[in-house]
Chains A and B, each alone.
Chain A
Amino acid sequence: MYSIFVIALNTFKEAIRNRILYVILLFAILIIISGGIMGDLSVSAPEDLIRSIGLFGINFFSIMIAVFIGIGLVYNEIDKKTIYTIVSKPIDRTHFILGKYFGLLLTIYANVIIMTLFFLMAIHYYSVVDQQTMNDYFMHLASQKGSYTQADIYMYYVKALLGAIPKGAGSFFGHDPTEATKNIMTVISMNCFELAIIVAFAILFSSFSTPILSAFMTIMTFLVGRGNEDIIRYVWKLQDKIQASGGADMTLHFKAALAQVIALIAPNLSIFYKVSDAIYEDKAPIYGSEILYGVIYPAAVLTLACLIFSRRNFK
């Protein structure tokens, strides 16, 4: 157990000393906080746009980190032969895989936390610099003082920005009077299970193939996983067709069976990405069965990765 922890920590160190991480994080933050600027342009419900862009950004860039950092983690150790001295140490190969997994997950969750903090601050900031709120404020100010200057407007923005920082941090720790940011936290937490699954796949693929191939397979898994429910609907449609045609067409049977197998093996990821819950629900629900799924599925993938890794020769 201790060796898993040690390897995880070193993997974390490796990741945070990788420049790519910061490039991705910078982009992520820019996108996440850009929601309000675009919100100005949209006609209706700017806060919905801020939310969906933010949630999308956090999700998308976390997946990017999983793919671009995860795929090389195991491969590089084999390619550069650092694995030789690791394997000769009194640890199991399984510990190595698990250490890599948790190290990468730790990296990604740390990034999710940073992105979420920026996101929450952005939400608070935009809610204060909202057109309606500002109009009301300055009408009030004008009626009190008679007039206001450009400097007052700048001051307003600065205060909004400074106020957003503690408010955002407060929301993160659950000190928020409104359900709105609590919902966001719930949705992001549920999304962490999706990341746990994707990272498991990145490690699995990385344990036996090259980075480019792993990246491709990880992204494919993500896409198929997100579209899993569509595949199931497609199977239903095929079954209807088969029934209608009397079941004579064998290619339809084949297609249905293939789609069924894919839907069964691939993870179902859309259950962990409920942006609409954060926007339209009064209180975003926490799904117990999905949490269970989000724990068991990556465990199964990691078991497979460990089995492959324990048996392989290193070049």
Chain B
Amino acid sequence: MAPVIEIRNLSKIYVQNFIDVEHGRLKIRLKNRRTAALQDLTLDVEEGEIFGLLGPNGAGKTTTIKILMGIHFATRGTAKIMGHPLGHKPTKAKIGFLPENPYFYDYLTGREFLHYYGQLYGMERSLRRKRTEELLELTGIAYAADVPLKGYSKGMLQRAGLAQALLNDPKIVFLDEPQSGLDPLGRKEVRDLILLLRDQGKTVFFSSHILSDAELICDRVAIVHKGKLSSIGRLNELLSARIKEYEVTVAGISSETVEQFESQATRNVAAGEEHLFVFEGEQAAQALVRKCLAENGRLISLAPRKETLEEFFVDQVRPSGEETKAKNI
């Protein structure tokens, strides 16, 4: 099956003119400032998956989503959504979008806001009413439906933003940092909501810099750093190949053996007659286990510890590791 999102060599260079208006102020520089926010990003997203676009701040995640949403135009490269080039209106009718740190019309109440957006989707009044009430309920802001958005907290705006993104029962949902601004409970609710969307057969494309959240829900992730793709794949593929270390806990072994393995271990801790060794290599761990059994000691535990997404990520984006790491596509 064809991927629902195809991104090919997408690049974006922001040009800030030497004379420019920023935040309502005139700004004059010595020359134009160019920022290569995105460089040759190529990736596919399959139907029905939860795809996480991960990367540190300034990596180019928001830029990617803005281009896909038609807010910015790419400098180079192309992208297709459901087989259609960007800007195709019938396609836009089938997607939902939550921007980063959303902000909406002060002067509308939550309910009016959703009705307005429903109208922009061309939804019939009865359908609009039904969806509005459902989503106010689902996102947990029904209690504030008649309060102007001016009075919404950051978290409530985020929820209103989620509600508007789902108004048209979209096939694909684009969420830019959906969990930012939320408390731990709110983050869990968003996670559950994303899983619910997947269960409904929707494709979810979201960006995040909070890895622990992403790790729990993503089918596949792409890691971007400084505008470039540094790796992409299924979470278990990216991480399982890399057992980070082995923890071996033994008891009742000779002091020579302890000394022998101390030098090989990255860490070791002794508590009474129990000894904990942490090895990087599998060989050393196995050797210790054999030795322990040969000496009639007790093997208390042997635990291979997988790399967490966070460690993998840090490894990927560490300045020195940048060039040496082969692209893992």
Residues of A within 8 A of B (CB): 2-3, 6-7, 10, 13-14, 17-18, 79-92, 209-213, 311, 313-315
Contact = CB atoms under 8 A, between A and B. Distances in A.
B69 A90 contact: no
Contact of A17 (B90, B107, B119, B121): B107
Contact of A313 (B71, B102, B103): B71
Interface string B62-79: 000010011111000000
Nearest to B25: A210
Contacts of B312: none
21 contacts: A2-B122, A3-B119, A6-B120, A7-B120, A18-B107, A81-B103, A82-B104, A84-B66, A84-B69, A85-B97, A87-B69, A87-B70, A88-B69, A90-B89, A90-B90, A90-B120, A90-B122, A91-B120, A210-B24, A211-B24, A313-B72
B135 interface: no
Contact of A90 (B21, B92, B103): B92
Nearest to A96: B120
Main secondary structure of the interface of A (DSSP, over half): helix
Contacts of B21: 209-210, 213
A90 B102 CA distance: 19
A311 B87 CA distance: 13
A18 B148 CA distance: 13
B314 to A, nearest CB: 31
A82 B69 contact: no
Contacts of B95: 88
A89 B105 contact: no
Given A6-B119, A88-B71, A89-B120, A81 B24 contact: no
A90 B249 CA distance: 61
Given A6-B119, A85-B161, A311-B73, 9 more contacts: A18-B107, A81-B103, A83-B71, A84-B66, A87-B69, A88-B70, A89-B121, A92-B89, A213-B21
Contacts of B103: 80-82
Contacts of B73: 311, 313
B116 interface: yes
B108 interface: yes
A18 B102 CA distance: 22
A90 B93 contact: yes
Contact of B121 (A90, A92, A313): A90
B93 A85 contact: no
A81 B90 contact: no
B164 interface: yes
Contacts of A85: 97, 99, 102, 104, 117, 161, 164
Contact of B71 (A87, A91, A212): A87
Contacts of A91: 89, 120
Interface in B11-54: 21-22, 24
Closest 4 CB pairs of A and B: A90-B92, A90-B93, A88-B97, A17-B107
Nearest to A83: B71
A280 to B, nearest CB: 45
Contacts of B107: 13-14, 17-18
Given A13-B107, A210-B24, A84 B120 contact: no
B272 to A, nearest CB: 60
A3 B71 CA distance: 18
A218 to B, nearest CB: 17
A55 to B, nearest CB: 32
A10 B116 contact: yes
A211 B23 CA distance: 11
Nearest to A313: B72
Contact of A314 (B71, B92, B102): B71
Nearest to B148: A17
Interface string B151-162: 000000000010
Contacts of B161: 85
B105 to A, nearest CB: 6
For A18, A87, A90, the residue with the greatest tally of chain B CB atoms inside 10 Å of its CB is A90
B122 A84 contact: no
Given A81-B99, A314-B72, A89 B24 contact: no
Contacts of A212: 24
Contacts of B66: 84
Contacts of B104: 82, 85
A3 B66 CA distance: 22
Contacts of A79: 24
A77 to B, nearest CB: 9
Contact of A89 (B22, B90, B117): B117
B200 to A, nearest CB: 20
A10 B174 CA distance: 25
B71 A82 contact: no
B92 A89 contact: yes
Nearest to A7: B120
